[in-house]
Structure 1
Amino acid sequence: MKRNENIIPLSKDHHFGLLCSWKIRQGLKKEIEVSRIRDYILYFWNHHLKKHFREEEEILFLYLEDEYMLRIRKEHRHIQNIVSQISSSENIDLFSDFADLLEQHIRFEEREWFPHLEETLEVPALEKIGKELNDIHTEEKDGYEDEFWK
């Protein structure tokens, strides 16, 4: 299904989230030093994911309060809690859990939540979302220098 142009900025962010999960898994598979992977997760959270969650919650949540929104909010909090645990841990199971949950969360948004919004919301609401995102959204760039996953 073709994504509505007004939600595309968030879909583009999702590409970087999926890539983040892949990089973490590659690092774990290659048995890269735990602190390097942890530093990347914290970087990704602080520079990308936290802002992305805020945009979804402050913009999209205003248009449709339903079971999808409740699930998304719960998953955002779960991911945030795992990141908090990761910040003071070397438990690689948490890293793997983070990668898995992030990927599952993104897949749910792309395959179910966004299509639901596109089908449920009227064109003027989607256009307003697009304008609001355009005002605050910055395009993701993947500039993390420690390429531990290679």
Structure 2
Amino acid sequence: MATKPLKRHESILTFSREHHFSLLFCWKIRQGIKKNVAGERIRQYVEYFWTHCLQSHFRQEEAVLFAPLSDKMVQRAILDHQYISKQIAALAGSSAKDLPKDLAILADSVDNHVRYEERELFPYLERKLSQEQLEAIGEQLTDEPLKDDYRDEFWNWPATL
């Protein structure tokens, strides 16, 4: 049985679109591990994605989307952000032997977090926040699309000609 795509309030669609990139990020990490790509190459991609995409996504969610509420559901998302941030920082100290395992744990953490937000938190926020609050959130968001243009496409390794 196919699942129906989730309908999202237009004011917060930007976050859902960015979540798509986050799920691709997880897939790329898993593909790299599956293809036995050197962990350091994958770690460098994680650093790139964190700096250019995920970090600003987390900041904007916390400052704009989560600001109107500070209940348990929002706090869980913020704690997830903190946990993922610490996992990424800790990768720098991972040994070559432990790096694939640590990367896989990170991919699972990001994947679980995105699915929590999409399936539970966002529908909850859409019910709890007023139309005016949702529109105000939408007005604060930039329409600049997320771009993951990392050059080392290790997830396609070995490259096909």
Is TM more than 0.5 here? yes
Q: Which runs of 4+ in 1 moved over 4 A?
A: none
1:100 pairs with 2:105: no
User: Which 5+ residue runs of structure 2 have no aligned equivalent?
Assistant: 1-5, 157-161
Note the 1:79-118 alignment, pairs <5 A.
79-89=84-94, 90=96, 91=98, 92-118=100-126
Q: Kindly tell me the number of residue pairs found equivalent between the two proteins.
A: 148
- The residue aligned with 2:151 is 145
Residues of 1 paired with 2:79 and 2:68: CA distance? Answer: 18
Distance 1:47 1:84 in 2: 15
What SS does structure 2 have at the residue aligned with 1:63? coil
User: SS where residue 10 of structure 2 aligns?
Assistant: coil
Identity %: 44
Deviations 1:6-42 (A, max 9, x none): 0000100000000000000000000001111000011
RMSD, aligned CA: 1.0
CA distance in 2, matches of 1:62, 1:37: 33
How far 1:138 sits from its partner (Å)?
A: 2.5
SS of corresponding position for 1:56: helix
Structure 2 CA distance, aligned partners of 1:81 and 1:93? 15
Matched, 1:133 2:138: no
What TM-score, normalized by structure 2, do the two folds share? 0.89
Aligned amino acid, residue 105 of structure 1: H
Cα deviations by residue, 1:55-109 (Å, 9 ceiling, x for unpaired) = 0111112111111111011100100010011123232211001000000000000
Equivalents in 1 of 2:108, 2:154: separation in Å? 19
What residue number does 2:75 align with?
70
2: distance between equivalents of 1:142 and 1:74? 25
Aligned residue for 2:130? 122
CA distance in 2, matches of 1:34, 1:141: 23
Stretches of structure 1 that go unaligned for 5 or more consecutive residues are none
